Structure 1
Amino acid sequence: MDKNFLWGGATASYQCEGAWDIDDKQPSMWDCYLHENNLENGDVASDYYHRYEEDIRMMAEGGQNTYRFSLSWPRIIKDKEGTVNLKGIDFYHRILDTCKKYGIEPFVTIYHWDLPQYWELEGGWLNKETCYAFEQFAKVCFEHFGDKVSYWTTFNEPKWFIVNGYFIGNYPPGLQDVQKTMYGAYHVMYASALAVRAFRVGNYQGEIGIVHSYTPVNGVDNTIETKIAMRYADNYCNNWILDTAALGEFPIDLIARLSEKYDVSFMKAEDLAVIKNYTVDFIGLNYYARTLVKPYTEGETQLVFNHSGKKGQSKVIIKDWFEQVKDPNSEYTAWDTEIYPKGLQDGLIEAWERYELPIFVTENGVGVREDVTVDCVQDDYRIEFMNDHINAIMNAMDKGVDIRGYYAWASFDLYSWKNGVEKRYGLVAVDFGNEQIRKPKASYYWFKEMIESNAKIIKRRKFEKE
């Protein structure tokens, strides 16, 4: 394993910072959505706003050499006119300086879902003006932090916040409209390219990429019908983000199919030229599970996701495209997430062969209920999960894939979108009900030992071809 490999953890601004209305921070769309619907929120979350030095110090003490975190747009920009909030700028300078103090390489995400409410009121990602506002926000970030950051990503997981927000309707703004989903998807990918252009034109140091919620697609068999369903699923799950960001083009067969029922005239030649000319330097892949599909059989589109932690509630059918199915031989979490490390190995090889760009595994972890009142959470299940997935990464690297970092989700327990703080992912336990006390879990110490041995203690596991 390369001694320069980045080993760390990841968080997101809304999910950990708290301080939702402190130091002139403006409301985000998530603040308003969760408050208005009386849902558990991130008003306090992990109180990272006040405890960031403790958290970053613990990362360093845990052997980690990098930290992936996101910047809060409504903490940095006060209004539609682009007024900069210097208190927000100062907060992120303190984080970056603390990273340097402890020898931690920052890996910075510009947007991790917390759109300012003042832009949501203007239509959010349905409004093209939001793209230009994002470009300006990115420029502010580059200008203020550019000398302290070498790794930037424009967006975290466009698929989830666009599809869930505009198609499924279980994230803000809570819409269920295919045409609006298309607008949002297009605008986000255009905004990403605008940010890449600003980065290139500004000649800032380092590299810029995008982070995608990667679910490699498998089929139940090798029939032609299943292969067609797999292509539909891959376009839906992966290709409209990765092809567009890495190759500069939306999948043409996806656009052709959508154009049979929906308007695609909003796709302008001048926008597509920006997308084509300003592709990313690397891709970040968040991996939790694959997508296993069979051909569509019958019924209307159904997209149901488990936010309760009671198994068996998820269902994905896209009419005339594909149906997602469960592998009876796989293990699943209480939130219906398949545990399938081979999917990461195969997916990394597929992404490398397709895009030939450096890859970072920017999130990987398992969410469970845990009793954090004990002295040390004995999370052997997380150790096994991480071991097998890091093994999958090493197997892919053995095949020649250029992988440069691994980020556990998450650095510490935090708020999980619409799952509150019940669903825990952290290497460090946070006792939310007891003064936010931090206590490393067994996985934290295992990760430290694994990093210090340069991944030599990994129990090697080869995944057989299916």
Structure 2
Amino acid sequence: MTDFLWGSATAAYQCEGAWHEEGKGLSIWDDYFHSDKCPAHVENGDTASDHYHKFEEDFKMMKEGGQNSYRFSFSWPRIMPDGTGKINPQGVAYYHKMIATMRQYGIEPNVTLYHWDLPLSLHKKGGWENIETAFAFAEYAKFCFHEFGDSVKLWATLNEPFYSLLCMYGSGNYPPNVKDAQRLLHAAYIQMYASALAANEFRKLENIGQLGIVADIHPCYGVDDSEACQFAVQMADHIMNNWVLDTAFKGYFPQQLLDELAKQYDLSFMKEEHRAIFDKGTLDFVGLNYYNRAYIRPYTTGESFVLVNNSGSKNSGIRETGKVKRMMVVKNMFEKIADPNGTFTEWDFEIYPKGIYDAVKMVQKKYGDLPIYITENGIGLHEKLINHTVDDTARISFMQRHIDELPKAKKEGVAVMGYYVWSTFDLYSWINGYDKRYGLVYVDFAHENKRYPKQSYVWYKNFINNWRELYETKYGH
């Protein structure tokens, strides 16, 4: 591998399409979007960006854009249609061809095993609330390690356990579409157990690279320095960050959080006989998906809730209480609010570049010299294609300001090893549909998914070609 990875990222369901081609099984998303459970106005990812058929075109554009790595996910139901047992040889052949083509273009694969497309068969048996799903995941991971270990050297078990489960069981806008904190905690435990089981399988093999996890990172900042606010920040940090990261790199969940949760919830699903698996299931590197920070104040009143803006209309992910805009409340612990002086996207994401520096420094402080990859960083925008390109200067500014925070951290000894823009090209943005565009390349979804490089694609290409000179001048290395 090269000394620094500059790339971009996608996820299988969001970009591949080919939802029922060549032996692929159904995922929870296929079921949701083809049933009466789904609101009529919500689009689906049946075709998405058609990356399944256009991957060579996409890799050529990445190569021409200076990128040397691609972070993507395997579709679990494309490889194992029922989530366990029988293998789909056509799905396996597809990923072999895809990886071989990627390498022909000088692009290093960075594979995430699970990016939210749970096989429907497992979902019907309880999904992430059934411990058997953890064992099925370990079986799937073991197969992938053996099958692709010669060509993939960067592996991640799960993508964003916190955020995905928050949407599944907090806001309830992802399948199984419920609002139930007790079930959320149970599913979160099983997901982390699944990651540890996969890591135990990984350790049985030699020379197949490194295994990590991809976490959405949320540096937490208090509204003041009061004792009450310090407690709120600690709780927010535990729930948003340490539940995943402590478990993945220290071997178990933070005890202070467990003590507080036990006051409100039944934690009997946490079994002592699992402790050895967690202890041995620690990982080699962390992928951080940084989009925004968490601005925290002490809990005041009301039941727990989570709001997510899926409309692209400002403030639709906010509940105003007096003059305070609350975005998330965890009863008796903390409230996440909107900074009244902050700058926000149309989807209520605060633009806070310093947070990416604080995030990598926080990880170094907690977990030592762990290799860190920024596995996602980007901004969703409403965009129009004009004269075969997109003037996305807002994205260029966003990327520039965030990337500029990383050389300082590297100078201070943080092991930042790579940066991936979200996303390689426009793709399906879950419940946001196709209106929320993140890509460096515009995809014309209405006209055979034709690709058009945006101005940010050109900027990123030029930046990659000149980054060493730029930062040696500024930081002396």
TM bucket (normalised to shorter chain) is over 0.9
Q: Distance in 1 between matches of 2:336 and 2:388?
A: 41
1:326 to 329, 338, 342: 338
1:347 to 350, 355, 359: 359
Give the corresponding residue for 2:33.
Answer: 34
Unaligned 5+ runs, structure 1: none
The residue matched to 1:452 in structure 2 has which SS?
A: helix
Please report the TM-score for the alignment, with normalisation by the length of structure 2: 0.94
Q: Distance in 2 between matches of 1:460 and 1:184?
A: 48
1:335-385 C-alpha deviation (Å, 9 max, x unpaired): 000000001111110111111111000000000000025321111111111
1:222 to 225, 235, 242: 225
| CA apart distance, 1:457 | 4.1
1:202 aligns with 2:205: yes
Q: Distance in 1 between matches of 2:164 and 2:386?
A: 33
Give the corresponding residue for 2:155.
Answer: 152
1:90-142 C-alpha deviation (Å, 9 max, x unpaired): 11011100111000000000000000000000000000000000000001111
What are the residue-to-residue correspondences of 1:26-425 with 2, within 5 Å? 26-36=25-35, 37=38, 38=40, 39-79=42-82, 81-314=84-317, 315-356=327-368, 357-425=370-438
Give the corresponding residue for 1:446.
Answer: 459
Q: Distance in 2 between matches of 1:396 and 1:221?
A: 26
The residue matched to 1:332 in structure 2 has which SS?
A: coil
Letter in 1 for 2:337: V
Give the corresponding residue for 2:4.
Answer: 5
Letter in 2 for 1:344: I
Unaligned 5+ runs, structure 2: 318-326
Q: Distance in 2 between matches of 1:31 and 1:460?
A: 50
Change (3 A) 1:310 1:80: closer
Q: Over the residues paired in the alignment, what is the CA RMSD in angstroms?
A: 1.6
The farther-off stretch of 73-82 and 97-106 is 73-82
1:142/1:204 contact within 8 Å kept? no
1:262-310 C-alpha deviation (Å, 9 max, x unpaired): 2222211221211111200000000000000111111222211110011
Change (3 A) 1:460 1:285: farther
| CA apart distance, 1:203 | 2.5
The farther-off stretch of 60-69 and 167-176 is 167-176
Q: Distance in 2 between matches of 1:225 and 1:52?
A: 51
Q: Distance in 1 between matches of 2:452 and 2:474?
A: 30
| CA apart distance, 1:79 | 2.2
Q: How many residues are matched?
A: 461
Q: Distance in 1 between matches of 2:417 and 2:96?
A: 25
Q: Distance in 2 between matches of 1:80 and 1:429?
A: 33
Change (3 A) 1:348 1:84: same
Letter in 2 for 1:404: M
Change (3 A) 1:3 1:119: closer
Q: Distance in 2 between matches of 1:142 and 1:459?
A: 38
2:145/2:208 contact within 8 Å kept? no
1:3/1:454 contact within 8 Å kept? no
The residue matched to 1:97 in structure 2 has which SS?
A: helix
